[in-house]
Structure 1
């Protein structure tokens, strides 16, 4: 019988343990894409990547393909190694933050597991949307119509526009701040402006010294490609500082297999500072060879594609080398992240290098 993505997710930890002996890309493809590591290694064109540092990996998944653990008190988290959700077990029911579709119905299993142990109600009464993206709330429909859905006003607008039956829009919205009290527990929701998305919020559990903010900080890993595919790069950069301004001890970042600690935030900011400095320096690259090659052909797009690709490659190389083995996937996404910075510097910051206004 063919192994599925979801079957393989349960074995992700064992795959990661073998990554030091196998090309990392082959090990990941063999698990995540449903084949074997050997078959992936035989597929033409797949690159080899550095092994994932052990410090970047999370706890062992159970046979159903998830891990649920206590953060503090009645605050818990769930992961499948790729995505994360957080929930509060209260005297009146469960407050869930996000419903990633990769975890799906395992959210219900994880919540049942916890509430059986603590004797509290298993019903999800409130669902908080960190933001509107389908990869984080695409399973929210499994909680039915009775759940109170909470999110930023922009989240509601975006989900009403999407009209996705798997992502019902929040019915309770706010503009700046919202305090949710349920069954003796409290969450502080705050909007600090657009960043990764126009509606991404910060979810703070002050009694538990825990912050959940999604697609901003990636504990143990470099940010996902193109700086988390963020829609506002300057604001995304500021959001890292805003997150570190909260008095948290534990971070739920929404992605990958482990929780974060403050040292993770400091390390990502150091990575980003290095990448910003390297990118600014690379933006003075001489464009003459690219004009000489493609200008006579009248191919303006070829000039700028090859030039901007070269700038990003020059910016990424020393940073990828410095952080490979320190942050997982530094050799995978640093080039894409540098390319996103190049465009943001050009468009948002007006750092145009040789293309600036001349006397």
Structure 2
């Protein structure tokens, strides 16, 4: 990833971290800031009911069983999971937006089932603060586990809310706790350099964060993926695992294998339409119009390519994937740039 794209990624992430919660906006907490909003906000297509999960409780979270003693927690936008064992609880990620509700969810399940509520391990999916920023809430006497690159990146970021992992691995690691087995694997960079596949074979579950958001199109600019080709390939690697339940790290419901198939087809449709746009959209009018203002010409030319490629995808997936009309264009631009820069599509050698 180029340094420019890296800076853009971090800047956007920082902005997201500062965005107030939907609940705060909804209950009028920030009403005094409402004047900063534009007079007219755009309308978007309704969210298909299939994209929505269970309602959160009065404290702002939902906790439910995935399979047997594996549970998931969501605030409707972020997800974490935990496994209860006879030696303590293994927590998978600690999103700050869920925060203290993670322990409340664990306490709720522990009380219902008569098991320990003590978190003994935290598995880090990857280093990003929006998925790990509540890790420090669980104190120093917790064993944290992540990829070797995860430790390097967290040491660089020096964020006290994300303590460094105590145990790291390069390619594969099997965590055994209280008679339970959790297989961790790194198959190369995708969303981030350290993003891992978390497989619980005895629970028919795979957790792979920020790759597929079940029921929804990817977040802005293809989930801000740091390696676009590898991120496009990651779902196929995920499908080689045996699993029934999928935890994607975002939004309000779990996923299925069919959700992964739909995600793969959505991305494939964008790729197909970008290939068409690279041939069909003529650059001449844009460069003729803007003369020596090359950036204006490129901006409008690429906007035309994106519009050409995204329009049929938006039409096909509206009502199928939530927010198809919100973020498909930005994802299309990122995929356009990846095909152009990584695969050389549309490049011409000067005669």
TM-score by length of 2: 0.90
Name the Cα RMSD after superposition: 1.8
8 Å CA contact retained: 1:98, 1:127: yes
In the TM superposition, 1:251-330 aligns within 5 A as: 251-284=246-279, 285-295=281-291, 298-330=292-324
8 Å CA contact retained: 1:5, 1:34: no
Secondary structure at the aligned position of 1:131 is classed as coil
In the TM superposition, 1:137-148 aligns within 5 A as: 137-148=132-143
Secondary structure at the aligned position of 2:337 is classed as helix
Q: What CA distance in whole angstroms lies between the structure 2 residues aligned with 1:8 and 1:275? A: 33
Counterpart of 1:150 (choices 139, 142, 145) is 145
Q: Tell me how many residue pairs correspond in the alignment.
A: 329
Q: What CA distance in whole angstroms lies between the structure 1 residues aligned with 2:177 and 2:171? A: 20
1:306 Cα shift? Answer: 1.2
Counterpart of 2:54 (choices 45, 59, 62) is 59
User: Counterpart of 2:39?
Assistant: 44
1:35 Cα shift? Answer: 6.3
Q: Mind listing any 5+ residue stretches in structure 1 that lack a counterpart? A: 10-29
8 Å CA contact retained: 1:7, 1:65: no
In the TM superposition, 1:154-193 aligns within 5 A as: 154-193=149-188
1:247 Cα shift? Answer: 0.9
User: Counterpart of 1:31?
Assistant: 26
Per-residue CA deviations over 1:242-289 (Å, capped at 9, x if unaligned) read: 112211100000000000011111111111111110011101221101
Per-residue CA deviations over 1:27-84 (Å, capped at 9, x if unaligned) read: xxx6398568xx79x8424211001000100001111000000111110000000000
Is 1:343 aligned with 2:333?
Answer: no
Q: What CA distance in whole angstroms lies between the structure 2 residues aligned with 1:107 and 1:86? A: 9
Q: What CA distance in whole angstroms lies between the structure 1 residues aligned with 2:28 and 2:194? A: 31
Q: What CA distance in whole angstroms lies between the structure 1 residues aligned with 2:81 and 2:308? A: 39
1:85 Cα shift? Answer: 0.2
User: Counterpart of 2:212?
Assistant: 217
User: Counterpart of 2:126?
Assistant: 131
Is 1:8 aligned with 2:23?
Answer: yes
Secondary structure at the aligned position of 1:255 is classed as coil
1:120 Cα shift? Answer: 1.4
Q: What CA distance in whole angstroms lies between the structure 2 residues aligned with 1:118 and 1:247? A: 28
Secondary structure at the aligned position of 1:109 is classed as helix
8 Å CA contact retained: 1:214, 1:254: yes
Q: Mind listing any 5+ residue stretches in structure 2 that lack a counterpart? A: 1-18
Per-residue CA deviations over 1:105-133 (Å, capped at 9, x if unaligned) read: 00010000011111111111100000000
Note closer, same or farther for the CA distance 1:119–1:7 as it changes in structure 2 (3 Å cut): farther
